[in-house]
């Protein structure tokens, strides 16, 4: 008899970035919070991430969000984010996708008009406002954890690229914030291969010695993201916008401008006084996809000044599927999958 298991998925996209929402087929994970469950999965069950983000079942450019029972009494559901780089504590685009999938699938009952939803990410609560019409989610505005500037004015000598200056910002993960024009980038679609090569070389060089500690979350792992910042422009109608590109190590340039990348940019600009509470910035990815970030109230994280922010965008459902996992298949790393997948 073949040892087969099934996993139920809802595939979604926000700004072109695909998130696979795992809704069924996984045994309950140990832990009382989304953070504890995520750390168990990272330690004992990483085969699930590798399975769904690798050929033949997936692609490293995707993300995976596993829906879990929340630990916080305010939350209606919890979710664990998995990407090529590992397990980010929070992600704006993944939050857009997870909330949309939960509402449009009926896992959270949808109400017409504006609806407040609270989800529990490994970083904490994501407070969400969904705009619903005729059974569809037209937009999601999400507020995650505060972002803060951890270090300014850093630099590293990158082989073949020279000295690269950057700031280190936390917004659900650590981001290296690099001014694109300093390295000849306009952040257009035809630069994606070059941006990927630059990002890869930079991360491999910059990681040693960079901080991995978060004041409340502890060790959050080595640097996973680079955010390339374009020029800030104010249009005649008052809209403030900037091209941007987020590199995910290893080897991925996001199709969206990314929610956490946008939040990191807001914290950087708020810290220099270039944006204030209530100001917005529309970020534009190399493929032309857009998110709107809004600076929120000031806060603190440990000893760091920080800023709340919200990200607004739209996610769309692409597929509902049930995949079969053959644990006897040599292309399936079944070493830690058997205990995770429901019989």
What is the set of domains in the chain, with CATH numbers? 4-144+317-326 (3.10.310.10), 147-312 (3.10.310.10)
pLDDT digits (tens, 9 = 90+) for 236-289: 888 899 999 999 999 999 999 999 999 999 999 999 999 999 999 999 999 999
The catalytic site residues sit at: 91
Residue 18 sits at φ, ψ, to 5 deg, of -90, 130
pLDDT digits (tens, 9 = 90+) for 84-114: 989 999 999 999 999 999 999 999 999 999 9
Residue 1 has pLDDT above 70, yes or no: no
**Strand runs labelled E in the chain:** 4-14, 17-24, 63-68, 77-82, 113-121, 124-133, 136-143, 147-158, 162-170, 174-179, 213-214, 218-219, 225-234, 240-248, 252-253, 280-284, 290-301, 304-313, 315-326
Q: Which residues contact 342 (CB under 8 A, 6 or more apart)?
A: 5, 24, 25, 26, 27
Eight-class DSSP state of 86: B
Predicted local confidence at residue 283, as pLDDT: 97
Tell me how long the chain is. 343
What mean pLDDT value characterizes the chain?
95
Give the model confidence (pLDDT) of 300-336 as tens digits.
Answer: 999 999 999 999 999 999 999 999 999 998 888 878 8
In angstroms, what is the C-alpha Rg of the chain?
19
- The tokens describing 18, both together, are 């695909």
């Amino acid at each position: 008899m073949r040892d087969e298991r099934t996993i139920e998925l809802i595939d979604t996209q926000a700004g072109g970035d695909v998130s696979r929402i795992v809704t069924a087929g996984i045994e309950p994970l140990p832990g009382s919070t989304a953070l504890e469950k995520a750390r168990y999965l990272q330690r004992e069950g990483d085969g699930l991430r590798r399975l769904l983000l690798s050929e033949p079942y997936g692609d490293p450019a995707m993300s995976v969000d596993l829906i879990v029972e929340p630990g916080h009494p305010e939350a209606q559901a919890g979710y664990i984010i998995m990407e090529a780089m590992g397990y980010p504590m929070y992600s704006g685009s993944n939050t857009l996708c997870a909330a949309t999938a939960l509402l449009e699938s009926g896992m959270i009952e949808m109400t017409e008009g504006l609806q407040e939803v609270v989800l529990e990410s490994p970083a904490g609560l994501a407070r969400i406002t969904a705009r619903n019409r005729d059974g569809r989610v037209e937009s999601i505005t999400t507020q995650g954890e505060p972002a803060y500037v951890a270090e300014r004015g850093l630099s590293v000598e990158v082989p073949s690229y020279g000295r690269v200056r950057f700031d280190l910002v936390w917004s659900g993960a650590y981001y290296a914030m690099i001014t694109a024009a300093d390295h000849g980038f306009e952040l257009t679609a035809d630069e994606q291969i070059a941006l990927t090569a630059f990002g890869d070389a930079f991360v491999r060089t910059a990681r040693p010695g960079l901080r991995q500690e978060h004041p409340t979350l502890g060790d959050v792992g080595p640097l996973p993201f680079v955010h390339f910042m374009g020029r800030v422009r104010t249009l005649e109608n008052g809209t403030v916008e900037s091209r941007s590109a987020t590199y995910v190590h290893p080897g991925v340039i996001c199709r969206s401008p990314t929610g956490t990348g946008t939040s990191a940019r807001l914290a950087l600009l708020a810290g220099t006084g270039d944006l204030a509470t209530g100001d917005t910035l529309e970020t534009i990815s190399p493929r032309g996809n857009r998110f709107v970030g809004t600076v929120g109230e000031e806060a603190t994280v440990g000893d760091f000044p920080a800023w709340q922010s919200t990200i607004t965008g739209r996610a769309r459902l692409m597929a509902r599927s049930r995949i079969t996992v053959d644990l006897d298949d040599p292309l399936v790393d079944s070493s830690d999958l058997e205990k995770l997948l429901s019989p």
